[in-house]
Chain A
Amino acid sequence: NSKVIQTPRYLVKGQGQKAKMRCIPEKGHPVVFWYQQNKNNEFKFLINFQNQEVLQQIDMTEKRFSAECPSNSPCSLEIQSSEAGDSALYLCASSPTGTGNTLYFGEGSRLIVV
């Protein structure tokens, strides 16, 4: 059973609507990752945090995607104006160390944009 908690498991949004997903990393894991897994099973790295600070992120030039990991609150990934191409499984993962790369994934939030 995953100890990384993601909510909601499913969300359905109309095009142009905002979509927000949350993640509670495993206790004691300072590093959090967000990946997008599309219908072809391809993984796309989005962003990672160590504590509240961004470590790496893709070029979110469209500015539709934003993410944060505030202290004492769940991490979140938000899509400001959903598009059909955003339909995917959004996976949050946490890691017990800043390096070492063992990622523990949550069960994901499946976004369907209609």
Chain B
Amino acid sequence: QQQVRQSPQSLTVWEGETAILNCSYEDSTFDYFPWYWQFPRESPALLIAIRPVSNKKEDGRFTIFFNKREKKLSLHITDSQPGDSATYFCAASLYNQGKLIFGQGTKLSIKP
């Protein structure tokens, strides 16, 4: 059973557009949601994270929107740049348990 789901599997947008990556989860007790990005032949790196005490987290061009009632969140990347091309992973966990559960990833391609 996939506890964290991501859509779409792949996404292509033009440079300058806003990319929207979606994530949903099963366990309502999850209380920490980081997004990681991974470039080809590199390891995942933390991009941005949110806890359910807020419904929005912004860091530059990257914003997480969180809907606790629907158990959904999304990552918005505004003014997309070719350097944003990577695979993005949504993850979830219980704050006091450490183990992250990852989604299947969204491969984002930005066309110049």
A residues with a Cβ closer than 8 A to B are 2, 31, 33, 40-43, 45, 48, 55-56, 91, 95, 98-108
Q: Are B43 and A105 in contact (CB under 8 A)?
A: yes
Q: How large is the interface on B (under 10, 10 to 19, 20 to 34, 35 or more residues)?
A: 20 to 34
Q: Are B96 and A99 in contact (CB under 8 A)?
A: yes
Q: Are A42 and B93 in contact (CB under 8 A)?
A: no
Additional A-B contact list (9), CB under 8 Å, known A41-B38, A41-B89: A31-B98, A42-B104, A43-B102, A48-B98, A99-B95, A101-B34, A101-B98, A103-B100, A107-B43
> Which of B87, B97, B102, B105 is close to A56, meaning CB atoms less than 8 Å apart?
B97
Q: Are A41 and B87 in contact (CB under 8 A)?
A: yes
Q: Are B99 and A48 in contact (CB under 8 A)?
A: yes
Main secondary structure on A side of the interface with B: loop
Residues 83-112 of chain B, each 1 if its beta carbon lies under 8 Å from chain A, else 0: 000010100010111111110110000000
**A70 to B: closest C-beta gap in Å:** 20
CB of B49 closer than 8 Å to a CB of A: yes
B residues with a Cβ closer than 8 A to A are 32, 34, 38, 42-46, 49, 87, 89, 93, 95-102, 104-105
- Report the nearest B residue to A106, measured CB to CB: B43
Q: Are A98 and B87 in contact (CB under 8 A)?
A: no
**B91 to A: closest C-beta gap in Å:** 8
Chain A residues within 8 Å of B101, by CB: 45
Question: Among A2, A56, A105, A106, which residue has the most Cβ atoms of chain B within 10 A?
Answer: A105
Q: Are B46 and A33 in contact (CB under 8 A)?
A: no
Please give me the 7 A-B residue pairs with the lowest Cβ-Cβ distance, nearest first. Answer: A43-B102, A105-B43, A41-B105, A99-B96, A107-B43, A101-B93, A101-B32
Question: How many angstroms between the C-alpha atoms of A31 and B98 in the bound complex?
Answer: 9
- Report the nearest B residue to A99, measured CB to CB: B96
Question: How many angstroms between the C-alpha atoms of A20 and B69 in the bound complex?
Answer: 44
Q: Are A95 and B44 in contact (CB under 8 A)?
A: no
Chain B residues within 8 Å of A101, by CB: 32, 34, 93, 95, 98, 100
Question: How many angstroms between the C-alpha atoms of A56 and B99 in the bound complex?
Answer: 8
Q: Are B98 and A98 in contact (CB under 8 A)?
A: yes
